[in-house]
Amino acid sequence: METENLYYFEKAPVAKAVAHFAVPMMIGSSMNVIYSILNAYFLGTLHNTAMLTALALTLPLFAIIMALGNLVGMGSGTFISRLLGEKKYNDVKHVSSFAFYSSLVLGVIVMLIGLPLIDPIVHGLGAMSDSFGFTKEYVTVMLIGSPFVILFFTLENIVRSEGSALTSMIGMILSVVLNIILDALVIFVFHWDVIGVAAATVISNIAASLYYAYHMGTKSQFLTISLKWFKASKDILSNVLKIGVPIFIMSIFLGAMSLIFNHFLVDYGEHAVAAYGISSRLLQFPEFIVMGLCEGVVPLIAFAFTANKLRMKTTISFTIKAIVTLAVVFGIIVYFISDHLIGLFTNNPQLIEMGSYILHVTFLSLFITGMTTLFTGIFQATAQGTAAFIMSIIQGITLIPVLFIANSMYGFEGVVWSLVIADAVAFLVGAIMLFVLRNKLQPDLASLVE
């Protein structure tokens, strides 16, 4: 395994190396989106708008839990890839053990803090009278399962960072397939509705986490879950937090943005919230494919940053071309069949009309989102903590005032368009920072952005 992983890091043609790292991530990400879509579809068959609304309202909470997993996972993962480039294999074991146990501790803290505050949390998510009970059920189960959900996101990043992209993908697919099977059982057989959907998510994450832990403990040449390798040194903490904290903040901002966005949509009725919940899940499929590409190449960029900067430049150039191709292909498909896609989840004409409009507008930013994700990934991989931090907050800082202005001037349409405006600003800021940092990343990256 060691020789195979290092081959893709060091010697494989760039296109082949990108495919090795990115395709499994793209497949795994798309499977997650398929699950998310089926999740809404299964609940949609019950023809209860309040359930669909609850599912949309809980997205910010899930974003926060995922953020904690990414804080440890992506912070540790990029550090591991750089350490592999420097051939510091013992340090890799220390970092992987630290990531495993710190994730569990974070999850326990979330559970202990969140459960006593369950009602304020549900109110804060924007739950209304009809959806309050369903939202509370989902939130309760997710808080109880948060140690394993956080662990899942951490280990997925850690395993991918050592070059085991296929193993990372198998874990994601395992989680999704098990989740879909359990969803069908809890909704159509046991009739547990929302609480069953939440339980299915937690159980599937536990199964995938056990799979990753087995790989790290018995199969991996570089990673370990052994407690004897656990080390929380200043060097490990600083390198993990330098990248992990910006990722966490970005995820929190995304969750906060989703929360604020939902509160604006509530003014236009539950149909608006449900329509956004459906359209956002549909947009996630092409968006996560593109993001899977960009996030998948981060370990390759991080390794090359310490080992071969020319290879890093070529990898980035190839990835940009792939983003353009994917954005064009998905754009053509979505604009032709958007009404039919929304119609898969509901037969309500108002929901179809609103969902289709949201899908058309937000899809304009697919290329921009892909490039923004790539910029962020480059900053993470090259340990540019300040730039990564700026990228983590710029979209949220932009969206909040734009939402207020656009809502007051253009109503529902303005709220929807505010997402595209915020994405465009983040893209411009990222491009400017990459240009400014070109000298620091010399000699090879400079020619890419000039």
DSSP 291-312: HHHHHHTHHHHHHHHHH-HHHH
CA of residue 227 relative to chain centroid, distance: 28
Tabulate helix, strand, coil % of the chain (nearest 5).
85, 0, 15
Q: Give residue-wise pLDDT tens across range 394-432.
A: 877 888 888 888 888 888 888 888 888 888 898 999 999
Task: Report pLDDT for 99.
Answer: 94
Give the number of other CB atoms < 10 A from CB of residue 344.
14
- pLDDT exceeds cutoff 80 at 56: no
**Cα–Cα dist 172/281, whole Å:** 18
Share of the chain above pLDDT 70, in %: 95
Taking the C-alpha atoms of residue 198 and residue 39, their distance in angstroms, rounded to an integer, is 10
148 or 22, which is more confident: 148
Asked if residue 302 lies in contact with residue 315, where contact means CB atoms within 8 angstroms, the answer is no
pLDDT band (50, 70, 90) for residue 283: confident
CA–CA separation, 98 vs 197, rounded Å?
Answer: 31
Identify the residue with better confidence: 199 or 274: 199
pLDDT digits (tens, 9 = 90+) for 321-333: 999 998 888 888 8
Taking every pair of Cα atoms in the chain, the longest distance, rounded to a whole number of angstroms, is: 61
**Residue that is written with structure tokens 């090795």 in the block:** 20
Of 374, 342, 420, nearest in space to 22 by CA: 374
The beta-carbon contacts of 324-327 under 8 Å, at least 24 apart in sequence, are 324/367, 326/286, 326/289, 326/290, 326/293, 326/370, 327/286, 327/290, 327/366, 327/367, 327/370
Asked if residue 381 has pLDDT above 90, the reply is: no
Q: How confident is the model at residue 450 (pLDDT cuts 50, 70, 90)?
A: very low
Range scoring the smallest mean pLDDT among 10-19, 65-74, 282-291, 370-379: 282-291
Please provide the size of the chain in residues. 450
Residue 5 has a pLDDT of: 66
What value does the mean pLDDT take over residues 129-142? 87
Higher pLDDT, 2 or 62: 62
Taking CA atoms, 243 is separated from 67, 100, 250, 429, in Å, by 12, 17, 11, 18
Which of 345, 361, 331 is CA-nearest to residue 423? 361
Q: What is the chain's mean pLDDT, rounded?
A: 84
Taking the domains of the chain in order of start, what are their residue ranges? 2-449
d(CA 149, CA 31): 17
Full DSSP string of 379-414: HHHTT-HHHHHHHHHHHHHHHHHHHHHHHHHHTHHH
pLDDT in tens, 336-376: 777 777 777 777 777 777 788 888 787 878 888 889 889 98
The predicted pLDDT at position 61 comes to 84
For residues 190-204, give the mean pLDDT: 88
DSSP category for residue 116: G
Q: How confident is the model at residue 203 (pLDDT cuts 50, 70, 90)?
A: very high
Task: Count the neighbouring beta carbons within 10 Å of the beta carbon of residue 357.
Answer: 17
For the entire predicted model, the pTM comes to 0.76
Query: Are the C-beta atoms of 344 and 356 separated by less than 8 Å?
Result: no
